[in-house]
């Protein structure tokens, strides 16, 4: 039997686009490798090898059959396993369009928890392979499973990548109902206020999910009614199935504009045996088209998009984003904004590290033999998956993400150490005596063996401080040390101000437990003090400091530091030696006022902790779990002791508060910073009462915010949120807390006509403003029931040393500042960059009293006179395999965000690449897989309903003059370039010419 499967689009008929797809989570119930090879099937029957292996003969069998594939983390594993013969066949599929690679990132990233830089990196990583192997560029965004959809996804990872459309499955059930009634599932999504119509995209939400219509599942062993068209056998059912098909098509057409509907023929890890689907789709196409009522065709999202584009002039306009996502009345998927805060913190830390490491890889020259940053790229790419950093994988999978990150980190550390060693060019007659740098990934818990060394024998500790920002920067370095008899010197040998504060008991306990858990052995020493000093580092460069023992305690600093204030009584305690003062009430032991006289801020402010009880799932009702936030009442957490301990010093002061046995908080006020830094340690969350708990902190002010607050989209644009309100529909409020939660990556703020309260975060978490003037952040959650959304585990993280397992404690920071209204953006943007890219520290021990043996102890990769403008960040500086350099520059401000900085700005590439000649500069699409001009030429130009034809898109930076090499950037613009620089590598290898380390 030959089936007629070659139908294309037929005009004036309802066209049913059958899109054969598999949705392959890059880790979820199983690890990415287990999914790939198909092991651990007792958890989930899923093997990506089967999918791709079986695709090949299925597509060979009929050239009309089409398939799409999405996740490059899997596809690339498979590709490298294939014989040349198979690769040739598959290349044929791709070039003929039988196989379309869409989305094309390393994973289908989450849209709530990832930072936009991670989203760009992982997309670029996947697109690069596709380009290399198949010379194609994906046209379609395919975010079918993430639990809500971000503005940044639409405009930045959609339009700016060159995608013609974006499809997804999950939007709020109320929103979906209205859109179905209005035929507004498919829209023009204009998600960036700043870039407007220049960055809009056609976006389609599926009517139900990303599965086939009910009864059209044809996976091997699935129980849909297969098409039985052999009249010689019983149960012949062609007419029945054709009728089913037509009915489902018409039903979908009734909620869809135009004569085209898409059927997503597949779902999670389907096509284990692809033929079972195609066999039935062949028959459906054949018999449905013979029937003639509707037209069925093998299609892809590209074909579907083109058909939509051809047929309809304009589409409804959608702005902002699709957060938060609720799938049902009590099922708000806002828990995962915070789920696994430890993993979220690790991912964010490595994201910044990866950025810095690639810079150092460029400065040193990529080492083809390794180490490279590629394994970190891979691990970070995998971790961005929508069950990765989202916190919604099973525990063993979360462990796998962490393990991959640790391996990638380790290799990247080697890159960093090699690069710094090369750049400092230590004076040595022995060729092999390159400096060996150590780094301290566990510095956050005061574990750092090199700084804990005993220097009394005359050794000195050398600290190289690298700054990956494009601006000169001063920041306080805090290091655990064992002796009070030490002093800090800069590279000129001048002693710099330093401060020693005692390491408190609670910190030591945490440090010892976690250091043992992570390193596998107990720390051999115990730090007594935290040494602090201010490092000053040029842009894209480093400075060097040395720490040496002294005969006696370093002057008066220690004494002052040890001054403790434990107060019950009347009056206030004032903390802070600079512009910012925090005022604590002695009687309550609590923060009461925030004062910055320099900026005329004097605000009442309080801070408290509470927990939401996780809804119990035993009754079959919706529980709170990895995905879902469903609070069952809130319970305030009062400090059990009203004592506060203040440690004072010249560089910063800190307030220690032991809120309860499992919450410890340190608030730091730096002399030279106008924000407060709050370091919280939450956990182990007690569960003896069999109640899961979700811990939040609330910052309360008198600001009359009138229901409004602002949260960032993946750390980039800020979106206005209005409590109990949605722009697109009349919200029926079911969950007053969970329904107002939003993902926070950079920070959040609220304001009135006088002032604004901003919080910045060090990782992705959930936050809201449940009452006016108040912001809240969910810091940690520990839950005892599965929430029934698939992960099949309770989110109950523990950490073990041997058999001693405890609930996971999470340590993190958030940053608080109050500004006069309109002035907060500068801090949020600039300091947000510093949080994302902390100073990178490398340590080495040297002998002798004289300075270091470095030939170079302070350095900038740029022209020493140059610094990037305040409104520009260097997102990417990365050497490609062919030696060219990938460069991304980002304007940090939105239109209207700051009166000075929300303007067109420019970067002088000649000064950025100070010592190398740029021989070629190609502006690229965001994922760097095609020329920007070419992309814009190809990309479909959609029209939103109600748009004026004469409406002009916001301005963007103009073309780069190849002689001047000045890059203009408009607000929120990100520009991507591939830069060819003069090769002077060989000279560098021969004679270490210092200047050549510069760009």
Residues interacting with a second copy, by CB under 8 A?
1, 31, 33-34, 36-42, 45-47, 49-50, 53-54, 56-57, 77, 81, 220-226, 228, 230, 233-235, 272-273, 275-276, 279, 400, 403
**Least distance between a second copy and beta carbon 886 (Å):** 25
Q: Which helix (H) or strand (E) element contains residue 934?
A: helix 932-938
**Least distance between a second copy and beta carbon 576 (Å):** 49
**Least distance between a second copy and beta carbon 272 (Å):** 5
**Least distance between a second copy and beta carbon 799 (Å):** 21
Nearer to a second copy, 60 or 329 (CB): 60
**Least distance between a second copy and beta carbon 518 (Å):** 19
Q: How far, in whole angstroms, is CA 993 from its chain's centroid?
A: 38
**Least distance between a second copy and beta carbon 551 (Å):** 53
**Least distance between a second copy and beta carbon 273 (Å):** 4
Q: If DSSP states are collapsed to H, E and C, what string results for 653-664?
A: EEEEEEEECCEE
Residue 911 has a CB neighbour count (10 Å cut-off) of 17
Nearer to a second copy, 40 or 577 (CB): 40
Burial of 328: CB neighbours in 10 Å, binned 0-12, 13-18, 19+: exposed
Q: Is residue 489 a contact partner of residue 852, using CB atoms and an 8 Å limit?
A: no
DSSP secondary structure code for residue 960 in this structure: P
Nearer to a second copy, 276 or 394 (CB): 276
Please calculate the CA angle 442-445-449 and round it to the nearest 5 degrees: 55
**Least distance between a second copy and beta carbon 212 (Å):** 15
Please calculate the CA angle 533-537-540 and round it to the nearest 5 degrees: 145
Q: Which long-range contacts (CB under 8 A, 24 or more apart) does 548-551 make?
A: 548/455, 548/460, 548/461, 548/486, 548/487, 548/489, 548/849, 549/455, 549/456, 549/458, 549/483, 549/485, 549/486, 550/485, 550/486, 550/487, 551/485
Nearer to a second copy, 236 or 725 (CB): 236
* 697 bridge partner residues: 609, 777
Nearer to a second copy, 42 or 457 (CB): 42
Q: Which helix (H) or strand (E) element contains residue 221?
A: none
**Least distance between a second copy and beta carbon 221 (Å):** 3
Which of 872, 861, 890, 866 is closest to 830 using CA atoms?
Answer: 872
- Residue 344 backbone phi and psi in degrees, to 5: -60, -40
**Least distance between a second copy and beta carbon 237 (Å):** 8
Structure tokens at 982: 């003069």
Structure tokens at 899: 């009166």
**Least distance between a second copy and beta carbon 234 (Å):** 5
**Least distance between a second copy and beta carbon 291 (Å):** 20
**Least distance between a second copy and beta carbon 788 (Å):** 22
**Least distance between a second copy and beta carbon 403 (Å):** 8
DSSP secondary structure code for residue 684 in this structure: P
Nearer to a second copy, 59 or 262 (CB): 59
Nearer to a second copy, 60 or 733 (CB): 60
The CA radius of gyration of the chain, in Å to the nearest whole number, is 29
Q: Is residue 279 a contact partner of residue 267, using CB atoms and an 8 Å limit?
A: no
Distance CA 268, CA 43 (A): 14
Exposure of 156 in the CB half-sphere (CA atoms within 13 A): 32
Contacts of 186 (CB under 8 A, 6+ apart): 202, 203, 204, 205, 256, 257, 308, 315, 316
**Least distance between a second copy and beta carbon 48 (Å):** 12
Nearer to a second copy, 33 or 845 (CB): 33
Nearer to a second copy, 184 or 270 (CB): 270
**Least distance between a second copy and beta carbon 603 (Å):** 51
Q: Is residue 363 a contact partner of residue 371, using CB atoms and an 8 Å limit?
A: no
Nearer to a second copy, 28 or 147 (CB): 28
**Least distance between a second copy and beta carbon 495 (Å):** 49
Nearer to a second copy, 91 or 279 (CB): 279
Residue 983 has a CB neighbour count (10 Å cut-off) of 13
Distance CA 507, CA 496 (A): 27
Nearer to a second copy, 272 or 871 (CB): 272
Nearer to a second copy, 230 or 732 (CB): 230
Nearer to a second copy, 51 or 901 (CB): 51
Write the DSSP string, 59-117: HHH-TT--EEE--HHHHHHHHHHS-HHHHHHHHHHHHHTSEEE-S-SSS-B-SSSS-HH
Nearer to a second copy, 214 or 598 (CB): 214
DSSP secondary structure code for residue 161 in this structure: G
Residue 492 has a CB neighbour count (10 Å cut-off) of 10
Q: Is residue 27 a contact partner of residue 268, using CB atoms and an 8 Å limit?
A: no
Q: Is residue 302 a contact partner of residue 131, using CB atoms and an 8 Å limit?
A: no
Structure tokens at 538: 């040029």
Structure tokens at 70: 């999405």
**Least distance between a second copy and beta carbon 400 (Å):** 7
CA distance readout (Å), 692 to 337, 634, 786: 17, 12, 11
Nearer to a second copy, 38 or 538 (CB): 38
Q: How far, in whole angstroms, is CA 740 from its chain's centroid?
A: 21
Nearer to a second copy, 225 or 830 (CB): 225
Distance CA 613, CA 618 (A): 14
Nearer to a second copy, 56 or 250 (CB): 56
């Amino acid at each position: 039997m030959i089936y007629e499967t070659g139908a294309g689009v037929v005009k004036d008929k309802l066209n049913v686009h059958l899109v054969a797809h598999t949705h392959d989570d890059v880790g979820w119930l199983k690890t990415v490798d287990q999914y790939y090879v198909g092991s651990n099937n007792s958890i989930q029957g899923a093997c990506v090898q089967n999918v791709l292996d079986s695709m090949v003969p299925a597509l060979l069998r009929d050239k009309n059959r089409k398939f799409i594939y999405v996740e490059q983390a899997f596809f690339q594993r498979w590709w490298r396993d294939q014989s040349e013969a198979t690769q040739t066949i598959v290349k044929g599929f791709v070039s003929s369009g039988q196989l379309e690679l869409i989305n094309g990132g390393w994973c289908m990233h989450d849209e709530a928890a990832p930072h936009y830089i991670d989203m760009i990196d992982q997309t670029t990583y996947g697109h690069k392979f596709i380009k290399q192997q198949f010379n194609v560029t994906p046209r379609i965004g395919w975010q079918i499973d993430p639990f809500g959809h971000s503005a940044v996804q639409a405009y930045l990872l959609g339009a700016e990548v060159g995608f013609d459309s974006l499809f997804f499955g999950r939007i709020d059930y109320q929103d979906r109902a209205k859109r179905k009634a209005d035929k507004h599932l498919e829209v023009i999504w204009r998600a960036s206020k700043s870039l407007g119509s220049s960055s809009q995209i056609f976006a389609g939400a599926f009517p139900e999910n990303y599965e086939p219509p009910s009864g059209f599942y044809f996976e091997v062993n699935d129980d849909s009614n297969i098409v039985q068209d052999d009249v010689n056998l019983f149960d012949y059912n062609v007419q029945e199935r054709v009728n089913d098909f037509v009915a489902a098509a018409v039903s979908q057409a009734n909620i869809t504009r135009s004569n085209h509907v898409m059927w997503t023929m597949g779902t999670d890890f389907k096509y284990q045996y692809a033929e079972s689907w195609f066999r039935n789709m062949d028959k459906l196409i054949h018999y449905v088209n013979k029937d003639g009522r509707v037209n069925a065709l093998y299609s892809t999202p590209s074909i579907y998009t083109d058909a939509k584009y051809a047929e309809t002039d304009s589409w409804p306009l959608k702005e902002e984003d699709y957060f938060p996502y609720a799938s049902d009345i009590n099922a708000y998927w806002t828990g995962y904004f915070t789920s696994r805060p430890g993993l979220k913190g690790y991912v964010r830390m490595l994201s910044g590290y990866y950025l810095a490491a690639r810079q150092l890889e460029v400065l040193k020259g990529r080492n083809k033999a390794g180490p490279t940053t590629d394994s970190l790229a891979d691990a970070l790419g995998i971790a961005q998956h929508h069950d990765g950093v989202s916190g919604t994988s099973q525990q063993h999978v979360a462990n796998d993400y962490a393990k991959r990150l640790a391996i990638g980190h380790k290799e990247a550390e080697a890159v960093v150490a090699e690069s710094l060693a090369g750049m400092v060019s230590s004076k040595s007659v022995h060729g092999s005596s390159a400096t060996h740098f150590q780094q301290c990934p566990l510095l956050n818990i005061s574990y750092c063996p090199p700084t804990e060394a005993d220097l009394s024998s005359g050794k000195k500790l050398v600290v190289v401080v690298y700054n990956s920002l494009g601006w000169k920067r001063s920041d306080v370095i805090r290091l655990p040390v064992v002796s009070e008899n030490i002093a800090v010197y800069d590279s000129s040998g001048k002693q710099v101000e330093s401060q020693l504060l005692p390491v408190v008991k609670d910190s030591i306990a945490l440090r010892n437990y976690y250091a043992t858990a992570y390193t596998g052995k107990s720390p051999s020493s115990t730090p007594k003090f935290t040494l602090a000093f201010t490092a000053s580092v040029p842009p894209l460069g480093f400075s060097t400091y040395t720490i040496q023992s002294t005969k006696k305690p370093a002057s008066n600093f220690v004494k002052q530091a040890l001054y403790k204030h434990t107060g019950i009584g009347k009056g206030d305690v004032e903390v802070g030696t600079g512009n910012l003062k925090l005022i604590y009430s002695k009687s309550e032991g609590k923060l009461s006022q925030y004062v910055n006289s320099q900026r005329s801020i004097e605000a009442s402010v309080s801070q408290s902790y509470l927990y939401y009880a996780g809804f119990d799932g035993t009754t079959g009702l919706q529980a709170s779990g990895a995905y879902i936030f469903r609070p069952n009442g809130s319970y305030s957490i009062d400090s059990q002791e009203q004592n506060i301990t203040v440690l004072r010093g010249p560089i910063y002061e800190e307030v220690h508060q032991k809120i309860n046995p499992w919450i410890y908080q340190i608030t730091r006020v730096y002399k030279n910073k106008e924000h407060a830094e709050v370091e919280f340690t939450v956990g182990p969350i007690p569960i003896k009462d069999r109640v899961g708990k979700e811990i939040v902190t609330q910052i309360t002010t008198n600001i009359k915010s009138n229901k409004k607050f602002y949260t960032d989209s993946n750390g980039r644009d800020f979106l206005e949120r209005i409590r109990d309100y949605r722009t697109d529909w009349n919200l029926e409020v079911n969950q007053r807390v969970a329904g107002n939660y939003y993902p926070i990556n950079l920070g959040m703020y609220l304001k009135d006509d006088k002032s604004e309260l901003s919080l910045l975060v060090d990782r992705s978490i959930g936050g809201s403003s449940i009452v006016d003037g108040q912001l809240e952040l969910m810091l940690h959650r520990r839950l005892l029931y599965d929430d029934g959304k698939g992960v099949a585990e309770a989110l109950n993280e523990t950490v073990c040393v041997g058999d001693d397992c405890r609930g996971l404690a999470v340590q993190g920071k958030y940053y608080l500042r109050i500004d006069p209204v309109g002035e907060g953006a500068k801090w949020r943007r600039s300091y947000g960059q510093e949080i994302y890219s902390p100073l990178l520290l490398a340590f080495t021990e040297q002998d002798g009293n004289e300075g270091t043996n470095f030939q170079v102890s302070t350095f900038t990769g740029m022209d020493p006179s140059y610094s990037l403008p305040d409104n520009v960040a260097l997102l990417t500086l990365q050497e490609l395999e062919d030696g060219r350099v990938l460069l991304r520059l980002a304007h940090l401000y939105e239109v209207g965000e700051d009166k000075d900085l929300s303007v067109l700005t420019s970067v002088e590439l000649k000064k950025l690449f100070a010592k190398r000649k740029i021989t070629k500069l190609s502006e690229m699409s965001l994922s760097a897989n095609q020329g920007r001009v070419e992309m814009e030429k190809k990309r479909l130009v959609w029209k939103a309903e109600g748009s004026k034809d004469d409406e002009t898109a916001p301005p963007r930076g103009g073309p780069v003059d190849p002689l001047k090499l000045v890059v203009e950037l408009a607000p929120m613009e990100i520009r991507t370039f591939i830069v060819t620089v003069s090769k002077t590598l060989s000279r560098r290898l021969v004679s270490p010419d210092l200047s050549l380390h510069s760009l």
